[in-house]
Amino acid sequence: MFRRLLDRLEEFTIGALLAISTLVIFLAVVHRYLAGFAIPYLQDWLLGFHFGWAQEFAMICAVWMAKFGAAYGVRTGIHVGVDLLVMRLHGGARRACITLGLLCGLLFCGLLVWYGVRLVWENGAAYAWYTGLGRDPGPYFEGPLTADLEWPSWMVYLAIPLGSALMGWRFLEVLLGYWRDGTLPQHRVAHVKGLDEGEGVPPSVEQGASR
């Protein structure tokens, strides 16, 4: 139950972030283009909208998408390495290699969570926490803001520890799955929805052949 909820949430998040980021840039471009025309009233109306935040917002969406998408990628087996040597190995050696690879993935994510938390903490989260509780922030600085939206950077940087934690969790799942039944998630490169369901050959190609 929890797993399925997490899976759906992960998919929803990355899909939505990609869609939002695309639409924001699309709107900003359309706005800029139209506002350049000296059409009375319309131009003044359009000049009233500010899209100065669009690039930064789209970028933050994309980075968050990338951090959680990387976790999704572990689940779907899209992160591949140079597996020539591993493919040639058999039995225990192969098992050891693959286990090592997954453990390293887990380790890397763990380190990113650790250093990510420290980055967030030292970059303003600590200050916000202590001053929020009405206490002296001690050696901690008030953190920077993002340039255009002026959001606290530490909130934006949260993508690192959160995304890495999820990615580490996915590595762990894959590792346990591999130990249990020896299978790994495989990303199917040659699978596109809509193609293998529709007619495989364009009609005209078939027509051309029948003549």
Partner 1 sequence: MSAAILFGMLFVLMLVGMPIGVALGLTVITYMAFWTPVPLESVALKMFTGIEKFELLAIPFFILAGTFLTSGGVARRMIRFANSMVGHVTGGLGMTAVLACALFAAVSGSSPATVLAIGSILIPAMLKQGYSRRFAIGTVASAGGLGILIPPSIVMVMYAVTTNTSIGALFMAGVLPGLVLVLMLGAITYWQARKHGFAREAKVSWRERWQALREAFWGLLLIVIVMGGIYAGIFTATEAAAMSAVYAAVIALFVYRDMTWRDVPRVLVDSANMSSMLFFIIASASLFSFILTSEQIPQMLAQAIIDLGLGPIGFLLVVNVLLLLAGNLMEPSSIILILAPILFPVAVALGIDPIHFGVIMTVNMEIGMITPPVGLNLFVASGITGAGLGETSRAVIPWLLTMLVFLVLVTYWPTLSLALPQALGMM
Partner 2 sequence: AEPILLKFSHVVAEDTPKGKGALKFKELAEKYTEGKVKVEVYPNSTLYKDKEELDALQMGAVQMLAPSLAKFGPLGVRQFEVFDLPYIFEGYEDLHKVTYGPVGKKLFAELEPKGIKGLAYWDNGFKVFSANRPLRKPEDFKGLKMRIQSSKVLEAQMRALGAIPQVMAFSEVYQALQTGVVDGTENPPSNLYTQKMHEVQKYVTLSDHGYLGYAVIVNKRFWDGLPDEVRAALEKAMEEATVYANDIAAEENAKAIEAVKAAGTSEIITLSAEEKLALKKALVPVHEQMSGRIGRSVIEEVYQATGFDPKSLR
Residues of this chain that interact with partner 2 (CB under 8 A) are: 32, 35-38, 43, 47, 50, 52, 55-56, 119, 122-123, 141-148, 150, 153
166 scored as a contact of partner 1 (CB under 8 A) = no
Q: Which of partner 2, partner 1, none binds 141 (CB below 5-8 Å, type-dependent)? A: partner 2
The binder of 16, among partner 1, partner 2, none, by C-beta within 5 to 8 A per type, is: partner 1
Q: Work out what residue 126 binds among partner 2, partner 1, none; the CB cut-off runs from 5 to 8 Å by kind.
A: none
Residue whose token pair is 């949430």: 9
- Rounded CA-CA distance 169/75 in Å is 10
- Residues 23-82 within binding reach of partner 1 (CB under 8 A): 23, 25-26, 28-29, 33, 55, 58-60, 62-63, 65-70, 72-73, 76, 78-82
Residue in the structure block whose two tokens are 């650790």: 114
Instruction: Give the per-residue SS3 of 28-60.
Output: HHHHHHHHCCCCCCHHHHHHCCCCCCHHHHHHH
> Using the rule CB under 8 A, which residue among 108, 130, 151, 178 binds partner 1?
108
- The count of other CB atoms within 10 Å of the CB of residue 28 is 18
Compute the least distance from the CB of residue 111 to partner 2, in Å.
Answer: 16
Report the partner that residue 52 touches, choosing among partner 2, partner 1, none (CB closer than 5 to 8 A by kind): partner 2
Look up residue 139 and give its two tokens: 């050696």
Span near partner 1 by CB under 8 A; candidates 19-27, 41-49, 133-141, 174-182:
19-27
Q: Which is nearer to partner 1, 134 or 208 (CB)?
A: 208
CA gap 167, 109 in Å, rounded: 7
Burial class (CB in 10 A: 0-12, 13-18, 19+), 78: middle
133 or 159: CB nearest partner 1: 159
Smallest distance, partner 2 to C-beta of residue 23, A: 18
Strand (E) or helix (H) holding 109:
helix 91-120
Q: Can you tell me the distance from the alpha carbon of 104 to that of 35, in angstroms, rounded to the nearest whole number?
A: 52
